[in-house]
Amino acid sequence: MRIIEATLFALRIPFIEAFAHSIKSRTYSDSIVVRLKASDGTVGYGEAVARPYVTGETVESCLEFMADTLWVAVRQADYSTAPLDLESSLDWLKAMAATLPAETSDTVIAWNAARTGFELALVDCLLKSQQRSLGELLPPQRSLITYSGVITSSTVESAAKNAKRFKQLGISQLKVKVTGENDRDRIAAIREAVGDDLSLRMDGNGVYSVQSAIAACQTLAEFKIDSAEQMISRGDPADLAAVRSASPIPQMADESLITLEDAQALIAAKACQFFNLRISKCGGLAHTIAIAQLAQASGIQLQVGCQVGETAILSAAGRHLAAWLPEVVFAEGSYGTLLLSEDVSRTSIHFGHRGQAKVLTRPGLGVDVKDAVLEKYAHQTINLATASVPGLG
Ligand SMILES: [Mg+2]
């Protein structure tokens, strides 16, 4: 089977309220949805979230790499040569991913968001054409996923108010964005608002120096923090190892963990106790699974994270991954219309009471995408078809 058509939708879906952390405040989702059409008429959807401060990709450069490089490779590949075999499903996923060029450039660490958009669309399309669910390839180890709430970098008062609201929803795990300003007051107010039983962790998005990260972890440990994510910026894993060895709070790598080589270097340096796996950041399902397997063999614990503002498509992929991995300590995402004014899926996928959501079982990624929503929120739409490429028909 061949892929005969690709459409790239660069979206701007407004948020219900702004989301802020130490680096960026956002008011809308800027996902790129990739729609692929196969020669048998099946359509599949993938999603890329470009983050300049994570992989170096921007929406513009991502669209360009998709059109000029990924589409050129995908339109030439013959996907009937990789028949789906449930016994070797990871090999099938790897074979899909291997049709996407892994080249890099001076402007990016990796084209991971762009690759994810195409990989997920391929997986969705090829599985749908055989009426198979991704859950058959990645059989779930659990039927419910429990998601965390997140407290953005806001005032002490609104942080405490939001924490209380999450507690009323039955949420049992919260992640707090910390900024180096007012951390102690905010975390103290949140702990006071939710009581002792709720699991709290924090994320610095790289805003601290080694010394200030150590100081913050030592000061905040009294509030029972289960992990400190990316306190210092991406750099030499030895720096993160220095924070880890002096911190009473376990360290989690996020922006420091983009490629498999990053994972190997972090493990070799004993830099952290946790990895935050995010599919769009790590380059798609096959790459993320390779990192997860390396982590689990090395005693690193896992969080399945998300992209703020992701739509149901990336949330669904994250749900399958979180359900399949043998051990997941924390899961994030699946906010859907709790954050977006409108999601792309026909049926809601956001988590419910207690932060819980069921595994997805429908064909492909399990999401029924509404083209009308893509068209409504796209500020740029790029149509690519085999017929328009000279020499290919
Ligand atoms: Mg993070």
The verdict on 91 and 174 lying in the same domain is no
The verdict on 201 and 115 lying in the same domain is no
Residue 393 lies in a domain: no
pLDDT tens digits, one per residue of 309-338: 999 999 999 999 999 999 999 999 999 998
The verdict on 253 and 212 lying in the same domain is yes
Q: How far is the CA of 76 from the centre of ligand 1 (A)?
A: 36
Q: How far is the CA of 108 from the centre of ligand 1 (A)?
A: 19
Q: How far is the CA of 323 from the centre of ligand 1 (A)?
A: 21
Return the SS3 of 280: helix
The verdict on 121 and 177 lying in the same domain is no
Report the number of distinct structural domains present in the chain. 2
The verdict on 278 and 194 lying in the same domain is yes
Residue 210 lies in a domain: yes
**Among residues of the chain, what percentage have pLDDT more than 70?**
96
pLDDT tens digits, one per residue of 207-255: 999 999 999 999 999 999 999 999 999 999 999 999 999 999 999 999 9
**Among residues of the chain, what percentage have pLDDT more than 90?**
89
Task: Please state, in angstroms and rounded to a whole number, the distance separating the CA atoms of residues 198 and 195.
Answer: 7
The verdict on 215 and 346 lying in the same domain is yes
The verdict on 101 and 148 lying in the same domain is no
Residue 387 confidence (pLDDT) above 60:
no
The verdict on 168 and 274 lying in the same domain is yes
What is the residue range of 91's domain?
3-131+370-388
The verdict on 203 and 349 lying in the same domain is yes
Whole-number average pLDDT of the chain: 94
Q: How confident is the model at residue 393 (pLDDT cuts 50, 70, 90)?
A: very low
Vertex 53: Cα angle to 50 and 56 (nearest 5): 60
Task: Please state, in angstroms and rounded to a whole number, the distance separating the CA atoms of residues 357 and 354.
Answer: 9
pLDDT tens digits, one per residue of 79-94: 987 677 777 899 999 9
Query: Which position has the token pair 């998005």?
Result: 205
User: Has this prediction a pTM greater than 0.85?
Assistant: yes
Residue of 241, 233, 228 lying closest to 258 (CA atoms): 233
The verdict on 330 and 375 lying in the same domain is no
> What is the predicted pLDDT for the residue at 390?
46
The verdict on 54 and 82 lying in the same domain is yes
Q: How far is the CA of 255 from the centre of ligand 1 (A)?
A: 7
Q: What is the average pLDDT across 342-369? A: 96
Q: How far is the CA of 370 from the centre of ligand 1 (A)?
A: 29
Q: What is the CATH number of the domain that holds 212?
A: 3.20.20.120
> What is the predicted pLDDT for the residue at 392?
43
Q: How far is the CA of 278 from the centre of ligand 1 (A)?
A: 9
The verdict on 188 and 91 lying in the same domain is no
Q: How far is the CA of 305 from the centre of ligand 1 (A)?
A: 8
Cβ distance 288 to 318 under 8 Å? Answer: no
> What is the predicted pLDDT for the residue at 386?
67
Binning the chain into helix, strand and coil, the percentages to the nearest 5 are: 40, 20, 35
Terminal CA-to-CA distance of the chain, rounded, Å? 14
